[in-house]
Chain A
Amino acid sequence: MQSPFHQTVIERLQRQILDLEGYKTKPSKQQKKLGFAHIEKHFPNQVFPTGTIHEFVSTQPEHTACTSAFIMALLAKLNTHQGIYVWIGKQRQLFPPGLNYFGIPAHQIIFINLVKPKDILWATEEALKCQSLSGVISELEAITFAQSQRLQLTVEKSKVTGFILRTQTGPIHATACAARWQISPTASLNLTQLPGVGFANWQVELLKVRNGSTASFNISWHNGQFHTIENLVPQPFLPHAIGS
């Protein structure tokens, strides 16, 4: 067993390593906070990393729907003010009225449709350079390690948070992203014992976290908040309300 002294030394060293790797422990006021410890605890310093690239893997349309909603919910929680978001993809399949439920009014999202993967990458990089954006989501079939590194370098300068939605099937190779997520739908939550479909419920898998631990947990979204299965209490029936 380690003595308490050893533990503090190791913690201090770990923090130093994180600093060197670019995970600055900023004053807590500046850092955007998710406010949901259940997710945050898997990341270094117990802070959801913003100003980096997150990678989401999804191969089926059902999963894409969940992943998009999860990203929207994350962004809504991270940005308390009304921001501008850019969504870059081949063809818009998202249905703007459906996104509102997850906390971001769809008119704040600028959709950019491009045909060539090369153009999507270019536009993603340009968008990530733009510090006025609150989030950039890019649908890419595939991304190479070098390309992801390039994007990572861009956001390190601009501090914009980027989300890459990979739709490629087959083996996934390494990227320079801060985390790799996979969101899949699970049976909806029915808190009120009423028949019908309940609240959206997802299995969130953190396949890879830089300097953090992988994890898999169940998360639900309703009334404009994330909820875990554990802390759920049956509550009276409320109509689906839009996020705060």
Chain B
Amino acid sequence: MNKRYVSIWFPHLVTDQMAIRQKELDGQAYALVAHERNKQIIIGVSYQAKKLGLKPNMPLADARIILPSLQAFKYQPLRQQKLLTMLAEWFIRYSPNIALAPPDGLSLEVSGCTHLWKGEKPYLQEISSRLKKAGYHFKIAMADTLGAAWAITHHGENQIIKSGEQLQALFPLPAKALRLEENTLQRLAKLGFHTIDSFIHIAPSTLRRRFGEEINLRIGQVLGEQPEAFEAISEPHPYQERLHCLEPIQTAKGIEIAIQTLLENLCILLQKDDVGFRNATLKCYRLDGKLQQISIGTNQASIHIKHLFKLFELKIKQIEPDLGIELFIMEATKVETLPKQQEALWQIQAQSNLSEVSELLDRISIKAGKNAIRRYLPQEHHWPEHSIKAVTDPQQLPETEWQAHKLRPTVLLNQPEPIQVSAPIPDYPPMNFTYKGQLHRITKADGPERIEREWWLNEGKHRDYYYVEDEKGQRYWLFRLGHYHSKIAAQWFIHGFFA
């Protein structure tokens, strides 16, 4: 599917927010000022101030000449970043993929989101009206690529660029809109390339020779021919606990204490919401900046501290503390509603406590992997290999009945093994067979039971199964593959052992 991106640019991000906070600033001209090289330099201006001709990078003294009543506030660099992140988190309601475009923009990947607002136009209208109501000044655009959307917001008008039409939309924009480096822009300006349409059709090799590889990359990104990284912000984790250590932890005992403490705190948090761990991750930040992490999973939502601790305990060995761990973070990466205590699976008597069994399975799966644990449910297939279905979920119940009217062996070989047989034709059971060098004389036999292949699943010959007993009383499941043929000897196999 074609990707769609929205770019939003807040030219007055911090000043707008100040006006939202302090009503008396609304509609006033004011500026954010930083002290740079013995000069007061304007970093950001309010909407009103911009209208009056003030611009960033202007010395405050010059600005005061234009507007003597200009109010100046101290610029706080972290505030903008924080505000942008906050806005990005707010935007998650419109798209799951939001990226920051520092210093004052946001990018949204909106593929597959707009139809929920009945189209791209209502989608943008909705965002615009919400932002306008809040009191922000912004420019917004939607396009097929991040680059194109960015270019339109910063150098064009609010609009939606239809899929595949970004090239035409970019024609009148200045070269700056391609996010090029300053010296490339200067070189372009020197040669008279002011708008994008003046150079975009020049062969890439020529452009590269003159302006370096960057220009081709940027053009490619704008047109969607080159990939562009989209670093989506992640939602803040609701179930997370941190533990700072005054002294770096190096011993297993110390890690155990940390896990215990974190689990206790986190379990209280989870219990409030009536949920339990399904997956948890412990992240250990080492002194040297490296990250060590271990994860556990459970078969059933659990807030049983002792049990969870045991699961972590099995994995403590994998942590290399090296110089020491200074920060532990535990996250419940997957949570589920806690099961009701009385809920029993397979209608077990009250004495059987299911959670105890799932705790046992958790311990085993931590050590041996989830694939080591299997249960088998019946499937509606006659072909023996297909008649069972392996499941890992300890609670799943059979959807169909076990087939009881046909006898099946107790032990089934994974692969049928060929045997030598002497059998009267056409459909009599064999008189004897040789398996692993041993001759078995058949005294009793049942069959044949013909089992056809399910042609929609696999192709091949059918099997004629015989249930036979040899002179020692040992019982086997043998089969002949396909029909007898006048030229080809029949193939016989042993497939299982009956009790």
- Tell whether B130 is near chain A: CB-to-CB under 8 Å: no
- Tell whether B490 is near chain A: CB-to-CB under 8 Å: no
Instruction: Give the distance to chain B from A87, nearest Cβ to Cβ, in Å.
Output: 10
Chain B residues with CB below 8 A from A66, complex form: 410, 499
Chain B residues with CB below 8 A from A101, complex form: 404, 407-408
A93 and B388 contacting across the interface, CB-CB below 8 Å:
no
Which residues A161-190 have CB closer than 8 A to chain B?
185-188, 190
- Tell whether B20 is near chain A: CB-to-CB under 8 Å: no
B444 and A198 contacting across the interface, CB-CB below 8 Å:
yes
- Tell whether A108 is near chain B: CB-to-CB under 8 Å: yes
Q: Residue on B with the closest CB to A105?
A: B402
Chain B residues with CB below 8 A from A107, complex form: 346, 375-378, 397-398, 402
Q: Interface segment, A10-18, A39-47, A109-117, A143-151?
A: A109-117
Chain B residues with CB below 8 A from A48, complex form: none
A131 and B356 contacting across the interface, CB-CB below 8 Å:
yes
Which residues A202-236 have CB closer than 8 A to chain B?
202, 221
Which residues A67-102 have CB closer than 8 A to chain B?
68-70, 81-84, 86, 91-102
A196 and B373 contacting across the interface, CB-CB below 8 Å:
no
B402 and A97 contacting across the interface, CB-CB below 8 Å:
yes
Bound-complex Cα distance A99 to B498 (A): 10
A197 and B348 contacting across the interface, CB-CB below 8 Å:
no
Chain B residues within 8 Å of chain A by Cβ, number: 58
Q: B residues bordering A, Cβ < 8 Å?
A: 346-349, 351-354, 356-357, 359-361, 363-364, 367-368, 372-378, 384, 387-388, 394, 397-398, 402-405, 407-414, 443-446, 467-469, 472-476, 496-499
Q: Given that A64-B411, A95-B410, A188-B475 are contacting pairs, would A82 and B348 also be in contact in the complex, using a CB cutoff of 8 Å?
A: yes
Chain A residues with CB below 8 A from B446, complex form: 196-197
B404 and A100 contacting across the interface, CB-CB below 8 Å:
yes
Chain B residues with CB below 8 A from A127, complex form: 360
Chain A residues with CB below 8 A from B411, complex form: 61, 64-65, 68, 93-95, 98
Chain B residues with CB below 8 A from A126, complex form: 360, 363-364
Contact mask A99-139 → B, CB, 8 Å, 1/0?
Answer: 11110011111111110000100110011011111100000
Chain B residues with CB below 8 A from A240, complex form: 404-405, 407
Chain A residues with CB below 8 A from B402, complex form: 97, 100, 105-107, 242
A98 and B372 contacting across the interface, CB-CB below 8 Å:
no
Most buried by B among A107, A123, A188, A196: A107
Give the 4 A-B residue pairs with the shortest CB-CB distance, closest first: A69-B499, A95-B412, A65-B497, A186-B473
